[in-house]
Amino acid sequence: MKNLYFQLKKEFKDLKVEKVSNFSFKEIPASAGVYLFFDRFNNLIYIGKAKNLQKRIKEHFKGESFKDSLFKDDIEKVGFLETNSEIEALILEAKLIKKYQPRYNTLWKDNKNYFFLGITKEKFPRVYITHQPISENQSLKEKTIFLGPFVDGKALKKTLYFLRKIFPYRSCKNLPKKPCFWYKLNLCLGPCVFKDNSLILEKIQKELKENTNNILKIFQGKKNKIYQLLKKEINLAIKEENFERAQEIKEKIVSLEKVLTNAKIIKEESPLFSDSEKVIKIFKKFLEIKNKEIRIEGYDVSNIQGKEATASMVVFYNGKPQKDQYRKFKIKTISKPNDYEMLKEVLLRRFSHQEWPLPQAILIDGGKGQLSVALKLKAKDKKLKDIKFMALAKQKNELFLENEKNSILLEKLPREISNLLLQIRDEAHRFAISYHKKLREKELLKSKN
């Protein structure tokens, strides 16, 4: 779109623009924000976001990617707008791309690649991400508001995850017959749970609408309006002497402020746990485990064409590995490759040890088939009835749970849970492989002698 330079300068007083020939990369702040490229005719040709403006803009000029090579020679001026966080940059980027449709953003736009945020106006509104928003002129049973396009789908998903902790919302297309894991984690208000209770449903409906409206306002850049509404709610709760409610709202404001002002909120989190107590609290809620302490066992079978097949059992107690309780198994009854039968042997041998404490949860490296093997053993042994069995498939990181028809992708679970499961699975695999190698080396030495 032509001649937007002066319009943008007027709209954004903080917009800083420099000619490429004049500026130094060192003068660009290393903070979050949105950057804009103009050509020699003052046409806006590209918009992007960054958690580090200096680094990202430098990458465009120094990099050798195909896309950069197409337009970097056309850049005459570089502009940038600083934001408080990468989340605010993500929202501002989408707003500017939609409004101004720069040439190269439009050229590379593909509805299958760009992301849109949908917020429905149903009785129990839902929030979801889609690649292909339904056209406004297409008839809809319930109107849906679409926000976007968002270029960075990963950042959008993480932003929603953090906001969901503050404003729980519904994401399922159809209300399920039983509560899902989002409800168990307090990330959905669960209208499906209270279908027969009209009074509770009425409250849920009201709160869901408030929560989705708040999320909508955040993505529209109206965060100050949310703060005003929440502060009014605090004053009303205090007036009614509902101090517990006032405290809850105050905590929401603090959490929201952390999310919207923390520039590094979208970065990858470490798989190591700094707060194992918090992790275990979330994990127990997810699996509906009521025990104060929790023992989790992880199993992995390692074999190459059935030769020197081994299996491992690792133990995590309250989220921390207990290496003195790890156990190794050399497969004795199966000589040909058969993961199911090998797993069955290992579990039978493990549960024959009455002196070993029973776990509250078991994670098996595998998929639906491996889980089925474990559940058949559980059905035959009463002492296993309280153990929660899970299987984690490597290829897509799919988690299979008993009594759940469909698998769950780890990326859709809270990071605290997915990190713990991955750590247990990987530790079981490492321990099994190390034992398998020792046996192979031993067998090799025998053959040489």
CA dihedral 421→361→402→348, nearest 10 degrees, is 110
Q: What was the pLDDT predicted at 272?
A: 39
Which tops the pLDDT comparison, 422 or 25?
A: 422
Q: Within a 13 Å sphere around the CA of 379, how many CA atoms are in the beta-carbon half?
A: 8
> In the predicted model, is pLDDT for residue 354 greater than 60?
yes
pLDDT at 357: 93
3-class DSSP string for the chain:
CCCCHHHHHHHCCCCEEEECCCCCHHHCCCCCEEEEEECCCCCEEEEEEECCHHHHHHHHHHCCCHHHHHHHHHCCEEEEEECCCHHHHHHHHHHHHHHHCCHHHHHCCCCCCCEEEEEECCCCCEEEEECCCCCCCCCCCCCEEEEEEECCHHHHHHHHHHHHHHCCCECCCCCCCCCCHHHHCCCCCCCCCCCCCHHHHHHHHHHHHHHHHHHHHHHCCCHHHHHHHHHHHHHHHHHCCCHHHHHHHHHHHHHHHHHHHCCCCCCCCCCCCCCHHHHHHHHHHHHCCCCCCCEEEEEEEEEECCEEEEEEEEEEECCEECHHHCEEEECCCCCCCCHHHHHHHHHHHHHCCCCCCCCCEEEEECCHHHHHHHHHHHHHCHHHCCCEEEEEECCCCEEEECCCCCCEEHHHCCHHHHHHHHHHHHHHHHHHHHHHHHHHHHHHHHHHC
Model confidence over 230-289: pLDDT tens digits?
888 888 888 887 877 788 888 888 778 777 765 344 444 433 344 577 888 889 988 989
For residue 4, the model assigns a pLDDT of 66
State how far the Cα of 307 lies from the Cα of 331, in Å rounded to an integer: 9
CA 277, CA 109: separation in Å to the nearest integer?
Answer: 44
Give CATH superfamily name and number for 5-107: GIY-YIG endonuclease (3.40.1440.10)
Contact predicate 286/417, CB 8 Å: yes
Asked whether the predicted pLDDT for residue 169 surpasses 70, the reply is yes
pLDDT at residue 433, rounded to an integer? 77
Phi, psi for residue 405 in degrees, rounded to 5 = -65, -45
> In the predicted model, what is the mean pLDDT of the chain?
81
What per-residue confidence (pLDDT) applies to 229? 85
| pLDDT value for 198 | 80
Residues ≥6 apart with Cβ < 8 Å to 368: 391, 400, 407
Q: Tell me how far apart the alpha carbons of residues 170 and 159 are, in angstroms, rounded to a whole number.
A: 16
pLDDT per position as a tens digit, 44-70: 888 999 888 988 888 888 766 656 666
Assign a CATH topology to domain 276-448: Nucleotidyltransferase; domain 5 (3.30.420)
pLDDT single digits (tens) 141-154: 458 888 878 888 88
Could you tell me the end-to-end alpha-carbon distance of the chain, in angstroms, rounded to an integer?
79
Instruction: List the one residue out of 167, 159, 418 whose CA is nearest residue 282.
Output: 418
Q: Can the peptide bond before residue 149 be classed as cis, meaning omega within 30 degrees of 0?
A: yes
Geometric angle at alpha carbon 317, from 315 and 323, rounded to 5°: 45
Q: Model pTM?
A: 0.56
What residue spans define the domains of the chain? 5-107, 115-221, 276-448
Distance CA 200, CA 183 (A): 15
How buried is 439 (Cβ within 10 angstroms: 0-12 exposed, 13-18 middle, 19+ buried)? middle
Confidence of residue 137 (pLDDT cuts 50, 70, 90): very low
Q: Which residue has the higher pLDDT, 107 or 345?
A: 345
Separation of alpha carbons 275 and 258, rounded Å? 18
Q: What is the pLDDT of residues 99-123, one digit of tens each?
A: 888 888 766 555 456 788 999 988 8
Counting Cα atoms < 13 Å in the Cβ hemisphere of 401 gives 15
Amino acid 12: pLDDT: 78
Distance CA 320, CA 296 (A): 9
Work out whether the CA dihedral 410, 271, 85, 153 comes out positive or negative. Answer: negative
Which of the two residues, 392 and 257, has the higher pLDDT score? 392
* pLDDT more than 70, % of the chain: 85
How far apart CA 190 and CA 381 sit, in angstroms, is: 34
